[in-house]
Amino acid sequence: MLQQLTEQVWYLPHEEERDRPVLTYIRGRELSIAVDAGSSPAHVNAFYGALRAAGLPLPTLTVLTHWHWDHSFGLCAVAGQTLCSQKTAQKLMEVRRWQWTEAAMEQRLLTHEDIPFCHEHMLKEYPHPEDIRVQVPAVTLEGAMELDLGDMLIRLFTCDSPHSRDALLVDAGEALIIGDAGYEDFYELDRAYDPARLSSWIQRMQLSPARWLIQGHQEPVLLLDALTEWNTILRSIL
C-alpha cells in the first residue's frame, strides 16, 4: 500500500521476499517523478495501481538510482520519460546483451558478473527468466541538474557511493532519496564497506539539509539516525 511521507512525497514499501525495493513518487503541480523502476513489469503495475488508488497521476519521469536489476528491470513497463546516470546507462547497455537462460545465468555466477544473492531473488521475481527485458533510459546525466515540478524544485546529482559507482541521488527538499547508495558493496566487496568510500559518503550526507532519508530496502529513517549508524559502522571497520 502506498505510504505518504511528506506533503509531496509518497512511497511503495519494499518487499523482502522478492527483494523488491522501495519505489518513490514525488508529486508536483505540473510534473511528477518516480524514483526507480522496480524489478519487473509486475512491480511497476503494483506501483501504478497504488498511485491510481490514491488518485495520483502516473509519473512524467522515472529516474534510476543505479543499475542493479531490482531497481531497473521494470523500466520496460514505465510511463513517461526515463533518466539515469551515464555510468548506469553504460552498465545497462552491457546487461542488455546478457542471455536469460539457465545456463547463461549460471555461467555469470562463475565469472562473477552476477552474484548469488541477486540470482536467487531474480528467479523468485521471474519464474521464467526469458521474460526479462532490459532497457536503457533515454536520457543520461553526469553531474547535477534541477527539475522544476511547478511548485517545487528537485535536484538530481550523481556520485560514487559505498554500494556502487553509479549512484544518482534525488533531493526532494524534506526527503533525500538515495536508493541503495548507503548500503554495503555486494558486487566488488562481497557485502562489505570500503572505509574510504564510507567516510566520503558520510561527509557528503552531513551536508544535506533533508530531514528524511529514503533508502531502497527499508522504511524511511531520519537522516540524523542514518548518519549515526554509518558512523558506528565506520568506527568498527577502521
Average pLDDT of every residue of the chain: 97
- Check residue 35 and give its pLDDT: 98
Whole-number Å distance between alpha carbons of 35 and 64: 6
Please report, rounded to a whole number, the percentage of residues in the chain having pLDDT higher than 90. 99
Which DSSP string corresponds to 170-191?
EEETTEEEEETTTS-BTTTSSS
Q: 24, 36 in Cβ contact below 8 A? A: yes
167-172 and 153-159 beta bridge pairing: antiparallel
The mean per-residue pLDDT over the stretch 6-10 comes to 97
Query: Homologous superfamily of 3-191+211-223 in CATH?
Result: Ribonuclease Z/Hydroxyacylglutathione hydrolase-like (3.60.15.10)
Angle (CA) 195 218 226, round 5°: 45
The mean per-residue pLDDT over the stretch 65-70 comes to 98
- Check residue 67 and give its pLDDT: 98
- Check residue 204 and give its pLDDT: 97
In this prediction, residue 216 has a pLDDT band, given cuts at 50, 70 and 90, of: very high
In this prediction, residue 47 has a pLDDT band, given cuts at 50, 70 and 90, of: very high
- Check residue 126 and give its pLDDT: 97
Three-state SS at 15: strand
- Check residue 106 and give its pLDDT: 95
- Check residue 56 and give its pLDDT: 98
Whole-number Å distance between alpha carbons of 171 and 152: 11
Query: For residue range 159-205, what is the model confidence (pLDDT) as tens digits?
Result: 999 999 999 999 999 999 999 999 999 999 999 999 999 999 999 99
The distance from CA 63 to its chain's CA centroid, rounded to whole angstroms, is 8
Provide the whole-model pTM: 0.97
- Check residue 105 and give its pLDDT: 97
The mean per-residue pLDDT over the stretch 202-213 comes to 97
C-alpha radius of gyration, the chain, whole number: 17
- Check residue 108 and give its pLDDT: 97
The mean per-residue pLDDT over the stretch 58-85 comes to 98
Q: Fill in the amino acid letter for 136.
A: V
- Check residue 107 and give its pLDDT: 97
C-alpha to C-alpha distances, 181 to 45, 50, 105, 184, 228, nearest whole angstrom: 25, 25, 25, 8, 16
Whole-number Å distance between alpha carbons of 62 and 57: 13
- Check residue 46 and give its pLDDT: 98
In this prediction, residue 49 has a pLDDT band, given cuts at 50, 70 and 90, of: very high
Domain residue limits, the chain: 3-191+211-223
